[in-house]
Structure 1
Amino acid sequence: METSQQSSLMKELEDLITKGNAHVTFEDAVAGLPPAMRTMVPENLPYSIWQLVEHVRIAQKDILEFSSSEDYEALDWPDDYWTPAVENVSDSAWEQSLAEIRSDRNRFLELVKNEKHDLYAAIPWGNGQNLLREAMLIADHNAYHTAEIVVIRRLLKCWK
């Protein structure tokens, strides 16, 4: 792929992951959430916003680690990807989780934007996955769970 096409694709992937394009961004979905609502589980739903935030953090970190290290060790599905329900989440735990999501997202984007990496080349320790697939996986997965956060906020009557 010629350099200008690869640069264009990298920019589109970055925008898809960070800006949401046609979707609410993750940052917008969690902004201004009252602390008491972080752990509330609406009737007939299996998890809270906190559990979704932690799931996004864990899954994104897993994708980053898989994409960047041949020493990657797979997590057990679903147990390692979901945290149990809790009654309270401190402001510091909340902010730390959000900061880690941003940091890991930025680290992943640095992989994607590094022109030494062929977005289409199979990750040597994988089963045919490549950086392009992993970027689309992060975008898709995070958008799905971001929408769930918005729905829960609507059910809790704390959305715009």
Structure 2
Amino acid sequence: MEKEKALRDHLVKLLRGGQAYQPLATLLQDLKAEIAGKTVQELPYTIWQLVEHMRLTLEDILEFIQNPNYKEPTWPDDYWPKEKAPADQAALDTSIKAISAGMEEMIQLVQDPSNDLFKPFPHGDGQTLLREALLIAEHNAYHVGEVIVLRRLLGDWES
């Protein structure tokens, strides 16, 4: 039981970030819609597209975890926004808040000892809560790096 609690605690730290990479909440705070929609030469995406992609992917994973009747979205169309920029600051803020809420939802699932980290979901093909938590952490870490690079290239990040 002590080892399982330690694992859950480590997963929460990994999901929150800040150990080996910038925490997502810190990275996205004070992000402005004008910056999020700017393109950088030679890069195929904007910060907005990365943020929305993280939101859509997180929501999909949470849906998979919690819905036995889960239907997989179409890749890549349902995982990436077509618009390069948010409609306005409110759209960007809504997306960021949804990511924050989704991350807290995932953290609650991981922290709840009644949720077996190792039991495969009956509606999946071997996926477990542990696997999905690691997938979210890995996915976010990858895109956090991209957002930092974009913010730096756009003169919007100094840390």
TM range (shorter): over 0.9
Structure 2, unmatched stretches of 5+, are: none
Please tell me whether residue 24 in structure 1 is matched to residue 19 in structure 2: no
- Percent of paired sites with the same residue: 38
* TM-score normalised according to structure 1 size: 0.93
How far 1:88 sits from its partner (Å)?
A: 4.7
Instruction: Structure 1: give runs of 5+ residues left out of the alignment.
Output: none
- In structure 1, distance between residues paired with 2:17 and 2:143: 15
**TM-score, with normalisation over the residues of structure 2?**
0.94
Q: 2:113 aligns with which of 108, 112, 115?
A: 115
> Which of 53, 56, 62 is the equivalent residue of 1:55?
53
Change (3 A) 1:88 1:14: closer
Contact kept? 1:58, 1:81, Cα under 8 Å:
yes
Report the aligned-residue RMSD. Answer: 1.3
Find the aligned partners of 1:118 and 1:141 in 2 and give their Cα distance. 22
Cα deviation for residue 34 of structure 1 reads 3.4
Which structure 1 residue ranges, 4+ long, deviate > 6 Å from structure 2? none
| Contact 2:86 2:92 (8 Å CA) reproduced | no
1:5 matches 2:42: no
- C-alpha distance in 2 between matches for 1:87 and 1:119: 37
Q: Distance in 2 between matches of 1:13 and 1:89?
A: 34
Cα distance per residue 1:42-97 (max 9 Å; x no partner): 00101110000000000011111111110211111001000013445312111111
Provide the residue aligned with 2:152 in structure 1: 154
**What is the identity, as a one-letter code, of the residue corresponding to 1:28?**
T
- Size of the alignment, in residue pairs? 158
* Contact persistence 1:48–1:85 (CA under 8 A): no
Partner of 1:72, secondary structure, is coil
